[in-house]
Amino acid sequence: MASNDRVRARGVTIHRPIIYGNTAYVLTQKEREALPSPDHTHRWTVALRSPSSAPDSDVVGGADDLSYFIRRVNFKLHDTYANQNRTIDKPPFEVSETGWGEFEISIRITFIQEAGEKPLTIYHHLKLHPWTAVGSGEPEIPPLEVALKHGPVHSWQYDELVFCDPFQSFLSILTAHPPTAMPKVKRRPVPFHTSNAASLEASKGGTPEFTQEMEKEEAERLDKALKMVVEDTHIWRNKQIEKENELNRLKKELEAAIVNQSRPIRM
Ligand code: SLL
């Protein structure tokens, strides 16, 4: 190690974008019969990747190899799986399996030693079923024939790993590997996400892709949601004031009635 390896670049903040999530396919009858467990209905891949996609790829994200700063990723699956702890120590950082149910997967990221960072655990809810009844009633799991027509389910979350005051050596490694920029505008469907109702429909149209435009749209959705919360708070506050006034009025009426009742009747 060079002498300045343990020196921190104070005041510097550097981040690396990531996506994590899953893609799931409905198995055909033939595929199911070929499995040791014919009750499995889906084939899926859970992964940690770079957000930008390789050109003309049918994979969501994954253009960059993240092993320049990530040493290992542990995926912890549901108890129903044999060897539920899957350690992936080289890229691609992903696990493919078959199964019948959705569950929470914990994804533990271990950084390269130079980072001097503790491992980080994030969670992804494995998504197998396309949502139906969007906006009208509770979402339901559609029958497999319907899901088959819908095509693969893509459920991915964008996030950023932020490093504050990084060690000089780690900073050099990061700056030597700039992430591939995401396309500015949409060319493909947007990845499904529960916070974005529009993505439910869009995710039917093929392999989705993350873009810079999505960031702007997410900011707009957050703005809109904040305005709604502020408006609602205002409405409910006024209702509360109204009800408190009514309560006071009724209390006074009641007091007056009691006073009247207990007043001696003069003959
Ligand atoms: C559910 N709470 O009931 C969830 C559990 C478990 C999924 C889902 C395969 C297990 C095996 C599998 O799909 N487990 O290999 O038999 O929906």
Express each pLDDT in 47-106 by its tens digit.
Answer: 999 999 988 888 999 999 999 999 999 999 999 999 999 999 999 999 999 999 999 999
Summary mean pLDDT of the chain: 90
Of residues 143 and 19, more confidence is placed in 19
| Ligand 1 lined by 195 (C-beta under 6 Å) | no
Q: How far apart are CA 191 and CA 189, in angstroms?
A: 7
> Which helix or strand (DSSP H or E) is residue 13 part of?
strand 13-26
Residue 214 CB-density burial (10 A; 0-12 exposed, 13-18 middle, 19+ buried): buried
SS3 content of the chain, % helix, strand, coil (to 5): 30, 30, 40
Q: How far apart are CA 132 and CA 134, in angstroms?
A: 5
Q: How far apart are CA 241 and CA 266, in angstroms?
A: 41
| Ligand 1 lined by 64 (C-beta under 6 Å) | no
pLDDT of residue 126: 97
Tens-digit pLDDT profile for residues 173-204: 999 999 999 988 877 777 766 666 666 665 56
Ligand 1 pocket: which of 79, 102, 128 to mutate (most atoms within 8 A of CB): 102
pLDDT of residue 75: 98
Question: Which ligand 1 atom minimizes the distance to the CA of 100?
Answer: 13
Q: b/e string for 137-153 if b means 16 or more Cβ within 10 A?
A: eeeeebeeeebeebebb
pLDDT of residue 110: 98
The sign of the dihedral angle between the CA atoms of 128, 134, 138, 141 is negative
